[in-house]
Structure 1
Amino acid sequence: MSATRPSAHLSAGAGRPLVSVVVPCFDEEAVIRGTHRRLSAVLRRLPECEYEVVYVDDGSRDGTWDRLTALAGTDARVRLVRLTRNFGHQPAVLAGLREAAGDAVVTIDADLQDPPELIADMVERWRAGWPVVTARRTGRQGESRFKTTTALVFYRLLAAVADHPVGVDTGDFRLLDRAVVRTLALLPECELYLRGSVCWTGFPETSLEYGRLPRPAGRTKYTLRKMAGLSRRGLLACSSAPARVPAVVGLTWLGGTAMTSAVRRRPLPLAAWTFGCEAVLLGVLGEYLLLVHREVRGRPPYVVLQRTGAGGGAVPAGLVTGETAGSAR
């Protein structure tokens, strides 16, 4: 988090600023109506602001899309984006950022573990001049000890080895100024780790603390496999430390071998350790080769199947990727 407060607001003009809320959804049929009610109640009370809510259906298999289209048909401030399949949480958030037209854009999950009521405080900080307002978790109710412990360890490990400052105990619940959104939308990486990318941009940042709540309904879609994938993406995207592991291991091994040989006054058999050492080194190199392979292919991080505009009218989209008029605003 930056310690330097900005002197002036970056985006909002003389008129009423537009606040966009981006909500990625994957199989959230059980909670989506309640989520929209709470979001709408908060956004209607924002002083001197217009608002829109951009829901991104990340390939849901239940009735989420039907519920969303029903909301769009009754609320002119709702916009929908439907991806062709489940691309994952980070691509879904990126899709919403590129679609959003707001002077400020809030990203929040659909499961109501992050309280929408905090958005009013975020907007107040933004209007005071902060381009990035992040919600920092002080507690995680309703989550297993394993998940809370691994999250605690991962964020501190990432902060320790990252090449640039990264937030600790933060997710994707944050407010971003239009200037920040525009920067993120133009980044060429196929595998963005948005939490780290926001910090990488270097825009001044402040934070609000809150306690994360249990889910009111449904179940988490973040399996152990998805958590491991997000951790891998964050580590590779934010830190060059894993790339230096081979050199560290190699030098340590050579030093240890030399010292042991000197003490014993005879060479040690290298075959006892060579295979395991090579396997570890090749595994680390393989992760980076895989990342390079995905980037070189140049595939977009997501594909849009359908867009629905204000009032529920279908907007012809076909298989569309990349930026829209909103992201270039």
Structure 2
Amino acid sequence: MSTSAEAPATIPVFDGHNDTLLRLYLQKAKPPEDVFGKGEGSGHIDLPKARAGGFAGGFFAMFPPPIKMPDLSRDTQAPRYDVPLPPMLPIENAQASTIGMLSIMLRLERAFPDDVAICRSAAEIRAAMAANKIAALLHIEGAEAIDPDFAMLDVLYAAGLRSIGPVWSRSNIYGHGVPFRFPGSPDVGPGLTDAGKALVAECNRRGIVIDLSHLNEQGFWDVAATSSAPLVATHSNVHALCESARNLTDKQLAAIKESRGVVGLNFAAGFLRPDGSMRADTDLDIMVRHLDYLLEHLGEEGVAFGSDFDGAVIPAAIGNAAGLPRLIERLRGAGYSEPLLRKIGYENWLSLLERTQG
């Protein structure tokens, strides 16, 4: 990496993962349009913060929450931890929450037509960015809402769904996830079920991104053997630098590179820090180390951001979407060129979508 001679510029960030729709869904006090539009509360992404930080859009996750959510900010503070995962979620619960979050995204687009656009392709994302709109690509994190006959997938795809993580960390009918365990290995049991392999084939047919971030290692290799699309982890980090079960081994990184896939750097402190702790007093240098490692193993076209905004403890030096320029400036200081910053900031995700959708 060499320092560019170009003058520093604002780098738009199209991000690989956020849980903003879940945050808006779970808060019941005010209409989500008001919370998102006015920037009320402590959320990581809203319209004012996005504008302040150059947040140009990203993969907006619809995550069907457990009936009782584990408190990761509390349960991941010890030197070693293994957070108990909730049981499988009934499909009726998953469908109700997924439709609720989809409705919120549709309402945001309707309430802010000059500021928000649901996008279905890289071309639509580029057009939204050119119009200074937040480009939202709909993503599912845990496919519990999708029946094995894919009737719900038909509906969600028509609404704009273009990315699916078959599992969140709990098991479902499609496969098995990785626990919130430190230190830990992602090699924690069986991989995809027959239904999971059928889901992968259906995603390939439709050009839907398959996200591996919460899938266990055997599931990762099952996708690698089954899928014809690039391998993608929208919000994962380096296991060699942080031994969280959620992070990727060197062997997995090599497979992602071979497939011309992409990894989005997760900003969650517990997946960055060598001690695995979810603490906000996490230095940005740790993020640089993970990015350097990913660049070494994936190349400049294989690395992006996958912040996990609104779903994790983020380093205080960033704080929220308004703090993205501080990370960009830190990368400039580490010698990242302007062309490389644009690749990591947004170009690599758009190129990945073009390779996936054909």
TM bucket by the smaller chain?
Answer: under 0.3
TM-score (norm 1): 0.27
TM (norm. structure 2) is: 0.25
Q: Which has the higher helix share?
A: 1
- Whichever of the two has the greater Rg, that structure is 1
Higher relative contact order (CA 8 A, sep 6+): 1
